[in-house]
Amino acid sequence: MSDMHKLHNTKPGRVFDLINVIFLAVAAIVTLLPFIYVVAGSFATESELARRAFFIIPETFTLEAYRYIFTSEAFIRSIVITIGVTAVGTAVQLFFTFTMAYPLAKRALRGRKLLINIVIFAMLFSGGMIPTFLVVQGLGLIDTYWALILPNAINPFNLIIIKNFFQNFSVELEESAKIDGASEIGIFWRIVLPLSKPIIATFALFYAVAIWNDFMSPLLYLNDSSKWTLQLLLRQVTISSDPNALGNLDPDYVPPAEGMKLAIIVIATLPIMMVYPFLQKHFAKGLLIGSVKG
Amino acid sequence: MKALLLQKANKQLPRKTFVEIVKQMWLRDKWLYVLLIPGVLYFLVFRYAPMYGIIIAFKNYVPYLGITESSWVGLDHFTAFFSSPDFLRLLGNTLWISFLSIAIAFPAPIFLAILLNEVRFALYKKFVQTCIYIPHFLSWTIVVGLTHLLFSINGGVIVEMVETIFGIRINFLAEPEWFRPMIILQGIWKGTGWGTIIFLAALANVSSEQYEAAIVDGAGRFRRIWHITLPAIRGTVVIMLILTMGNVLSTGFDQIFLMTNSLNRSVADVFDTYVYNVGITRGSYSYSTAVGLFKSIVGIILILTTDFIAKKVDKESGLF
Amino acid sequence: MGSFGKRELLVISVLLMLMIVIGCSNDPASGEDKPDGNNDTDNVVYFDEIKIMAPTFETTAPPADNEWEQATEELTGKKVNMNWVPNVSYEDRMNVTLASNDIPEVMVITGKTPGFLNSAEAGAFWELTDYLDDYQYLGQYNEDILRNASVNGRVYGIYRERDVMRSTAIIRKDWLEHLGLDVPESVDELYDVLHAFTFDDPNNTGADDTHGLIIPTWYGSLDTLSIWFGAPNVWGVEDGTFVPAFETEAYREALDWTKHIVDQGLVNPDFTTLSPDDWNNAMFNGAGGVIIDTYSRAMQVNNLFVDEAGSDDSDQYYVEITGTLRAPNGEEYGHPTDGYAGFLAIPKTSVQTEEELHEILSFLDVLCSPEGINLLNHGIEGVNYQLDDEGYLVPLETEEAQALNPYTMEQISMFGDGMHRMKAEGELPQKRYQLMEDNGNYAVFNEAAPLVSEVYSTRGTQLDDIIEDARVQYIAGQIDESGWEAAVELWYSSGGQELVDELTQLYDEMN
């Protein structure tokens, strides 16, 4: 491949490459800097945070906030819970979504259009918070981690996109497998899924991030505070700047230290941000889809 | 292809009884139907069972009384909404922001994904990808805080820069004409990197052989993008566009609420902030449900219309 | 292809109807069965355990059966089951709880929110107006506050008392000292301070880089100023008719005064966009030298200076507080709060009979006793705190105390006499207590505090925005006097007149 590129490394091509690399570098810096500030701020003292508007290296370095977080049993517990629910939840939601998306991609399947319409309808119309709560309660899911997973098991938006990916799947490949005597489930499991790694990786990321960032489900469905997730803790410390809490604050409320807020933001975002770099290796491996289209 | 032919053949056969059709469906596709079971159950239990809640749009819902006991008010909430003196202004503001974000913020990730796809050093590509998706994880409160830092009339870096270069001092945060550009700009900064992921996944399916073959044929960079990269993501772009149309009347709440102030409110008020003010802070679930229902109906009409147009242009694209 | 066919519509509507049927059966049955066997005997215990729903501000919600909770159980003789809810979306959670079939016996209500009002009107909570007087401690309520916390005179909850006098000007002490200025006592003197802070280089940099007053996009400062000038607190009553504050002479005077200081450059130029989150920092960084807000903010700003100085001398302080400032006419008017922050309400679904209510009220009565109120607010004597010889409270700093502190029960504390006070350590807190006491005599209360208006609950936000926006635009010089008049006109025609009429009528009915 490199030979090919060398062969055609024309002058305008190189100029393009250079501009592209510089443009992307600027984009990377512009998006990275604010987060570096958040991280730096979490190690800074209160007066420094108040005095300096923006910095990437704190003058005085303090571990106060992290010491508090990592000696608090509740914090450690909620980190473990959040990671656990996210891992199990992502697997469950991927299962629900992919098993439904695959048959819906089969244009010859009877009832397919009806089901797609049902999905689209559900994407736009919902019964609202309280009726959903009553269903979850009726199923006995209150105070269980399933309440954070099952009510969002399929995101209709994701389902439609995955279905469309499958629609572009090589028909010949599946047909030949069928002739070899494989059942539809066999084809799905042994041929389609292994070739869909980029898509699985993408939607694993989407679902994982959604579960990780979910705030409403734990708020509504968990009474037992020993089951709280990180997002609840995060909202608790950033409450004074939460638009939903405006005018609703007890006048005696004393906001937590700024450094503490930033440290909790770091703890609550860093683990989930690490997921993408790990998934990236799967993005280059699906090769066959798209080679045959339609 | 075979499957399509089969379907056509089915249609030409003489009418069968219902039982026969079901039997035939089952025999041919039973495993596909088995695969559908968990998903269909999910939609029935968690999506459709609660949908009776929509009727509170026509009632005066009090949680304590429950839906059955709450009194009917018919279309009162809808008339109150449509006849509100602010309705047209809200609609205008909402559509403006949606239009701008579909025209500018929607193509941004496609553009960026193509640029990333052209990067040859895998490590650099990964690094950039990881950086640009970070803003997705920062809350609007933080994003708006940073915006204030940069654009404050009282010492904001960008205000000072603009003054040095153009000689004018612009209060970006307060002047109504700057409200929409600021919202779009923030949206691009926060969402573009995240948005590229789906397109990069689509591009992962393009084999490097295709590019190599094109190079052998003497295709230049832009022809390769035009003939290989773009077709590879076209289906995804179309489906994303269709689904985005469903949210035309939803601009999100937090960002706009946080960016609104007394000087720019005339252009900043949108349905979502209005519903918050009237519906949620005023505790009226019924009212917010009514507005939500209106938004959903408009959304589904727009989705189906866009889908229809997409199909006219390319038979293979679209929702179905 | 891409549209709903008849078949799809049919199936969806059948599904919907099915769901309505299922859904309705899901609705909570009104009234659970209560194990209340023999009703007639006196010593019947209706509740083995009292379930209380309350908000928490802590990042780590108190675990069940912690020592603080156990001490509360010991004091009241009742098992307590706390349901702590993160404060952020407490309102949502409250509504969901009321809609469910699992309702606690006592619910903290954070304010007269519409969700609460709707439910209260539908009969969700006991009306306590005629019951409180029967109890030793609950009967010792403050009548004004009880009235403020009521719904048009009907009491649906036992209020959680808060300080009444909170408003003050907060001034950088170092700047005052540098310029040789005294702490202002009137609005006119404040003007001189603002002027000097802007033009006389209070930070000694030689540059023109400071302003006097800092105003963020939360305009409470302007409300306080207008009251200091003698305007009513939101609503006044003249000849039996309600008058909105902005229609009074004093309000206009305050408005013009503010416009004047803005025009002169005595206010931060970004007052139309400065986030309240950056308010303290703006003062700490020297963007301005005066804030008009609460004593709590004064303490927060002071703490920033303390943190930087690294000094632990409690007499050393960095901001001056003024309390109420006298109006230009020499009179003194104070800006009070409504005196409460939410209340504890008792749902009728879980507490069904008067006998049951009596049991719950007796429980709450104990919490309002001196022992109760001290336990809820300060914790366990000997663990969280000690009393010194003069009876002042001294917090303990043992590991045990620090572990227990975040489990505070203060969210369910109502009111009561006999609360231990900390000896005011340091000059600033002492000054604060003195000012709070002195200013109390001049408080101007909001006449409409107890009134709950229909018009306001549907159109209140828009009405408030009209005046708020016009006020800021007027001060910023974007509209002139006729623009202001037009906004007031718009306010009346958008529902303001109906609001005035309704409040006047409600007021008559209540008195």
pLDDT tens for C118-139 read 899 899 999 999 999 999 999 9
Chain B 301-320, residues with CB within 8 Å of chain A CB atoms: 303, 316, 319-320
pLDDT at A177 over 80: no
DSSP H or E run through C86: strand C79-86
Interface contacts A/C by beta carbons within 8 Å = 137
**SS3 state at C358:** helix
pLDDT at C71 over 80: yes
* Residue of B2, B117, B134 to mutate, interface with A, max A Cβ within 10 Å: B134
Higher pLDDT, B89 or C33: B89
Report the residue from C22, C24, C115 with minimal CB separation from B68. Answer: C24
Alpha-carbon distance C444 to nearest alpha carbon in chain A (angstroms): 19
Q: What percent of chain A has pLDDT over 70?
A: 87
Chain A CB contacts of C1 under 8 Å are 113
CB contact under 8 A, B42 and A153: yes
SS3 content of chain C, % helix, strand, coil (to 5): 45, 15, 40
Q: What are the Cα distances from residue A254, in Å, to B45, B86, C296, C298, C445?
A: 43, 37, 8, 12, 25
Backbone angles phi, psi at C162, to 5 degrees: -135, 165
Q: Are C370 and C419 spatial neighbours (Cβ–Cβ below 8 Å)? A: yes
Report the residue from A129, A239, A251 with minimal CB separation from C92. Answer: A129
Q: Which of A77-91, A122-136, C361-375, C427-441 has the lowest mean pLDDT?
A: C427-441
Report the residue from B52, B62, B318 with minimal CB separation from C19. Answer: B52
CB contact under 8 A, A225 and C95: no
- Fold match flag (C49-162+339-421 vs C166-232+246-335+426-442): yes
What is the model's pLDDT at position C17?
A: 56
CB contact under 8 A, A133 and C4: no
pLDDT at C350 over 90: yes
The CA distance from C31 to A201, in Å, is: 49
pLDDT bracket for residue A237 (50, 70, 90): confident
What is the model's pLDDT at position C147?
A: 93
| pTM score of the predicted model | 0.88
* CATH number of the domain enclosing B256: 1.10.3720.10
Give the ipTM of the model, two decimals please.
0.88
Q: Alpha carbon B99 to chain centroid distance?
A: 12
Instruction: Give me the number of domains chain B comprises.
Output: 1
Chain C CB contacts of B144 under 8 Å are 275
Both tokens of B301, joined, read 């009409």
The CA distance from C399 to C415, in Å, is: 29
Q: Are C322 and C138 spatial neighbours (Cβ–Cβ below 8 Å)? A: no
pLDDT at A74 over 90: no
Chain C CB contacts of A239 under 8 Å are 57, 87-88
**Is residue A176 within 8 angstroms of chain B, CB to CB?**
no
- Asked if residue B117 is part of any domain, the answer here is yes
What is the model's pLDDT at position C485?
A: 97
DSSP letter string, chain A: -HHHHHHT--HHHHHHHHHHHHHHHHHHHHHHHHHHHHHHHTTS-HHHHHH-S--SS-SS---HHHHHHHH-HHHHHHHHHHHHHHHHHHHHHHHHHHHHHHHHT-TT-TTHHHHHHHHHHHHH----HHHHHHHHHHTT-TTSGGGGTGGGS--HHHHHHHHHHHHTS-HHHHHHHHHTT--HHHHIIIIIHHHTHHHHHHHHHHHHHHHHH--HHHHHH---GGG--HHHHHHHHTGGG-GGGTT-S-TT--PPPHHHHHHHHHHHHHHHHTHHHHHGGGGGT--STTSS--
CB contact under 8 A, A128 and B56: yes
Alpha-carbon distance A75 to nearest alpha carbon in chain C (angstroms): 7
**Is residue A251 within 8 angstroms of chain B, CB to CB?**
no
Backbone angles phi, psi at C50, to 5 degrees: -110, 125
What is the model's pLDDT at position C60?
A: 76
What is the model's pLDDT at position C192?
A: 97
A245-258 tens-digit pLDDT: 555 566 667 777 88
**Residue (of C299, C303, C316) closest to A46 by Cα position:** C303
Interface contacts A/B by beta carbons within 8 Å = 265
Q: What are the Cα distances from residue C449, in Å, to C96, C240, C245, C445?
A: 27, 16, 14, 8
Pick the CATH number of C49-162+339-421 from 2.40.33.20, 3.40.190.10, 3.40.1280.10, 3.10.150.10: 3.40.190.10
**SS3 state at B320:** coil
Q: Are B284 and B76 spatial neighbours (Cβ–Cβ below 8 Å)? A: no
pLDDT at C484 over 90: yes
Chain C 318-337, residues with CB within 8 Å of chain B CB atoms: none
The CA distance from C222 to C258, in Å, is: 8
Q: Which of B296-305, C40-49, C85-94, C212-221 has the lowest mean pLDDT?
A: C40-49
**SS3 state at C344:** strand
DSSP H or E run through C54: strand C49-56
b/e code C88-104 from CB counts within 10 Å (16+ = b) = bbbbbbbbbbbbbbebb
What is the model's pLDDT at position A139?
A: 95
Q: Are C209 and C282 spatial neighbours (Cβ–Cβ below 8 Å)? A: no
**Angle A73-104/A112-124 helices, nearest 10 degrees?**
140
The CA distance from C152 to C120, in Å, is: 12
Q: Are A74 and B10 spatial neighbours (Cβ–Cβ below 8 Å)? A: no
Chain A CB contacts of C342 under 8 Å are 250
* Residue of C10, C18, C57, C59 to mutate, interface with A, max A Cβ within 10 Å: C59
The CA distance from C338 to C450, in Å, is: 9
pLDDT at C34 over 60: no
Alpha-carbon distance A217 to nearest alpha carbon in chain C (angstroms): 11
Both tokens of C234, joined, read 């939101």
**Is residue B123 within 8 angstroms of chain A, CB to CB?**
no
Report the residue from B43, B49, B202 with minimal CB separation from A119. Answer: B43
C424-482 tens-digit pLDDT: 667 888 888 889 989 988 999 999 999 999 888 888 888 999 999 999 999 999 999 99
**Is residue A54 within 8 angstroms of chain B, CB to CB?**
yes
What is the model's pLDDT at position C490?
A: 96
**Residue (of A241, A258, A250, A156) closest to A203 by Cα position:** A156
DSSP letter string, C89-133: GHHHHHHHHHHSS---SEEEE-SS-HHHHHHHHTT-B---TTTGG
CB contact under 8 A, A235 and C92: no
DSSP letter string, B133-156: TGGGGS-HHHHHHHHHHHH-TTT-
C286-330 tens-digit pLDDT: 999 999 999 989 999 998 998 888 877 777 899 999 999 999 999
Average pLDDT over residues C207-226: 93
- Asked if residue B31 is part of any domain, the answer here is no
What residue numbers bound the domain in which B175 lies? 84-313
Q: Is 3.40.50.300 the CATH number for C166-232+246-335+426-442? A: no
CB contact under 8 A, C8 and A242: no
CB contact under 8 A, B204 and A285: yes
With CA atoms as reference, the chain B residue closest to C118 would be B62
A160-176 tens-digit pLDDT: 999 998 887 766 667 77
CB contact under 8 A, C88 and A239: yes
What is the model's pLDDT at position B188?
A: 97
Q: What is the DSSP letter of C62?
A: P
**Is residue C273 within 8 angstroms of chain B, CB to CB?**
yes
With CA atoms as reference, the chain B residue closest to C457 would be B282
Q: Pairing between strand C288-294 and C319-321?
A: unpaired
Q: Pairing between strand C288-294 and C241-244?
A: unpaired
- Asked if residue B29 is part of any domain, the answer here is no
b/e code C42-69 from CB counts within 10 Å (16+ = b) = eeeebbeebbbbbbbbbbbbbeeeebbb
pLDDT bracket for residue C12 (50, 70, 90): low
What is the model's pLDDT at position C32?
A: 40
Enumerate residue ranges in chain B where pLDDT < 50.
1-2
- Asked if residue B11 is part of any domain, the answer here is no
Exposure of C407 in the CB half-sphere (CA atoms within 13 A): 24
Q: Are A58 and A48 spatial neighbours (Cβ–Cβ below 8 Å)? A: yes
Q: Are C145 and C339 spatial neighbours (Cβ–Cβ below 8 Å)? A: yes
Residues contacting B18, CB < 8 A, separation 6+: none
Alpha-carbon distance A63 to nearest alpha carbon in chain C (angstroms): 16
